[in-house]
Amino acid sequence: MTLYRDPIHLESQRGKQTFGYWVGIAVGGLMVWLTRDWQGPGFSNELAGHLLGWGIVLLCLGAMVVGEKRILTLDPKKQQLVLEIQSRLGNKRLSYGFDQIVEFYVDRMGSTDGGSPYFDIVLVPRTGKRIWLFGGTYFEGRFQEASINALCQRFNDLLSKP
């Protein structure tokens, strides 16, 4: 079947990530603005909201400055997985032969109670150091468990095929 012989190439979507950062900056900025009149001695709810707002703004600005992008290529013909991590602070390239990979599995992150769970595929190399392939970047289907499970299964199928 040729379905598993074609390389799998995934790229994070920097535009959607940046939009998420802008939303975070807007929410944090709104919190800062709404709690701007905190006063009085001691630690109050308004002060906590004000500090949290600044924390969100600074976290989103920092993530936007780093601007990470990930490119994942899984090539069955070369029997190799290549993960390129590009950021404004430098680039990193990780390469693993299929014989160096034990398995892939799906990891759930985020809260199911009132939060937005998202999923990542974890690479387990023979060295034992786990590598989250998507990291903090946005990939299509990342919030859909069935989609990520199918992709992970495809990765594992490629490992088991000669």
CB atoms within 10 A of CB 88: 11
Same domain, 27 and 100: no
| Whole-number percent of the chain with pLDDT over 70 | 88
Both tokens of 92, joined, read 């990193």
Tens digits of per-residue pLDDT, 7-54?
888 888 777 778 888 999 999 999 999 887 767 666 678 888 888 999
Tens digits of per-residue pLDDT, 97-125?
999 999 898 888 776 676 677 788 888 99
User: CATH number, domain at 141?
Assistant: 2.30.29
Number of structural domains found in the chain: 2
| Whole-number percent of the chain with pLDDT over 90 | 22
Helices (H) and strands (E) counted in the chain, each on its own, are 3, 7
- Alpha-carbon span 151 to 137, nearest angstrom: 17
Q: Alpha-carbon dihedral of residues 150, 153, 157, 158, nearest 10 degrees?
A: 80
Rg (CA), the chain: 20
Same domain, 72 and 109: yes
- Alpha-carbon span 134 to 85, nearest angstrom: 10
| pTM score above 0.75 | no
For the sheet containing 118-125, what is the strand order? 101-109, 118-125, 131-132
Same domain, 40 and 107: no
